[in-house]
Structure 1
């Protein structure tokens, strides 16, 4: 036994405490060789730890994130379809008296909206004919803007840009398992198309928060939340720590939505109830798009992906 140990033990003259050179003191561009006393490196280490914890504790929920995200994205369309059906006469009166729709055309306008929203929502949730479902829901967003005369309303415009961003995230998610989507784009590979859709979806998603910043009275809390939120929005748009910043926005928007758009606390006869309800479900849809971003990641056209390359 002792002879084997003596044979296996290296000679003192040739012994190296770091045979692989891992403790090389030469300057390195890699993260391992960074100065641990550098404040930026400490922040980076904390950020990495936060990302790891998010990844660990979100594992039980991660298989369900795509379904949750898809459902939340279409919930505003489902609520809108239900409101049109339950307020059919009021909707007709508004279109005919204020928007000057002829009798019959107003009926057709509402009917098409309800059918497309229900069919498109079902297609998105069930992952069947996703591209046609997304196209139909995009069409609803556009024609409602013109039909109800809200296309030049800044709040409506920014919110619907974010809803469109959520629909782009749905489309990007569906492209993972599809071999071809748009025959009209023969020069782009499926991977390239998905990159561009993810980039567009990321950028559009943040417009809801921009609308929040531009509206309302300025207080210290509002300024603080706006600064932090805008930083997270920029990180989402450029794809830097995109999963972490998207998760942060999910939390912030969810809390904001419950306290600011609490339509359930308003009397059913109060006209403000419908506006709060509309804003509440639209915000849920945008949260759904951010959840899909947390699940899929920012895609190839992002800082996070470029860091992996370089």
Structure 2
């Protein structure tokens, strides 16, 4: 905050031989200096951001104990939906893989079966906090395997969305390492703590790639430009860890509204081919919202501006 200025009542009584120079800041009618004005603006911004953070803390307090479980479920919901899609469209999936991808009959069955088992098992492990490292590794393997199997590695939308999904999975891994540290609080855990910091850093950076994909794709309108500007600023804040909880909360709200308005698959006829694409995008966006919720609950981690501000 800016410092107050006190006028000296004896200012006019200073002898001439002491070389008195009037203070332009204290002189009535004089303009404030540039640095002081800048400090006042920064102080105002900090005051507003602190008020917003306090409001978020206050209004989310009743649901805070449930946020980690909800976030974990949302992160894996896209894998559960995909596993259900494969099982309910088994013959169509086989036909596509064999006809368009050239995978032989037996390998096509094995490919789909491995995907279903890995997605269901990995999702259960993440939700139940059982073997989180193996669960996350299984789901990461699914992302790579599907990219290769369906030939989507070089599709920009698929690539950016799955980077964000990977970011959410890394947040889960970081959270599991944090829980381990609490279990063995009396023992040295420097290596685990460092790993957790790196996973948090990588996770929050990758989480914002979905919104970057939203910015670079689609038709430009006035509303889209405004949303893109504010969303991009929030993404940068999340990536560097500056006011990370506030900016992640803003992105959760923005993506949730965007998801309902744009990826409204329920409004499309079940026989329309676009329905499956909208449904896939809808659940992937939910997974990324889950990753952001986990970030709100955990904080940005050691490698962040917020954490460095506590030190200095």
Provide TM-score, normalisation by structure 2: 0.85
Give yes or no for contact 2:79–2:120 (8 Å, CA) kept in 1: yes
Corresponding position of 1:169: 171
Corresponding position of 2:131: 129
The secondary structure found in structure 2 opposite 1:189 is helix
Aligned counterpart for 2:70 among listed residues 64, 68, 87: 68
Aligned-pair CA distance for 1:40:
1.9
Corresponding position of 1:298: 300
Give yes or no for contact 1:35–1:41 (8 Å, CA) kept in 2: no
Give yes or no for contact 2:152–2:158 (8 Å, CA) kept in 1: yes
Q: Which runs of 4+ in 1 moved over 4 A?
A: 23-26, 34-37
Aligned counterpart for 1:178 among listed residues 177, 180, 205: 180
Aligned-pair CA distance for 1:188:
6.0
**Count of aligned pairs:** 275
**Any stretches of 5+ residues in structure 2 without a counterpart?**
7-35, 183-188
2:195 counterpart of 1:193: yes
The secondary structure found in structure 2 opposite 1:177 is helix
The secondary structure found in structure 2 opposite 1:151 is coil
Aligned-pair CA distance for 1:271:
0.4
Q: 1:37 to 1:172 in 2, by over 3 A?
A: closer
Give yes or no for contact 1:236–1:245 (8 Å, CA) kept in 2: yes
**What is the CA deviation profile of residues 138-183 of structure 1, one whole-angstrom value per residue up to 9, with x for unaligned ones?**
0000000010000000000000000000000000111112259xxx
Aligned counterpart for 1:210 among listed residues 204, 209, 212: 212
Provide TM-score, normalisation by structure 1: 0.86
CA RMSD of aligned residues (A): 1.9
Alignment of 1:108-123 (within 5 A): 108-123=110-125
Corresponding position of 1:16: none
Give yes or no for contact 2:181–2:193 (8 Å, CA) kept in 1: no
Farther off after superposition, 293-302 or 171-180: 171-180
The secondary structure found in structure 2 opposite 1:178 is helix
Give yes or no for contact 2:126–2:136 (8 Å, CA) kept in 1: yes
Corresponding position of 2:90: 88
**Any stretches of 5+ residues in structure 1 without a counterpart?**
1-22, 27-33, 181-186
Q: 1:179 to 1:48 in 2, by over 3 A?
A: closer
Aligned-pair CA distance for 1:36:
11
Instruction: State the distance in 1 between where 2:4 and 2:303 align.
Output: 34
The secondary structure found in structure 2 opposite 1:269 is coil
Aligned counterpart for 1:256 among listed residues 233, 255, 258: 258
Q: 1:179 to 1:309 in 2, by over 3 A?
A: closer
Corresponding position of 2:20: none
Corresponding position of 2:154: 152
Aligned-pair CA distance for 1:277:
0.2
Aligned-pair CA distance for 1:191:
1.0
Aligned-pair CA distance for 1:38:
1.0
Aligned-pair CA distance for 1:39:
1.9
Instruction: State the distance in 2 between where 1:189 and 1:35 align.
Output: 45
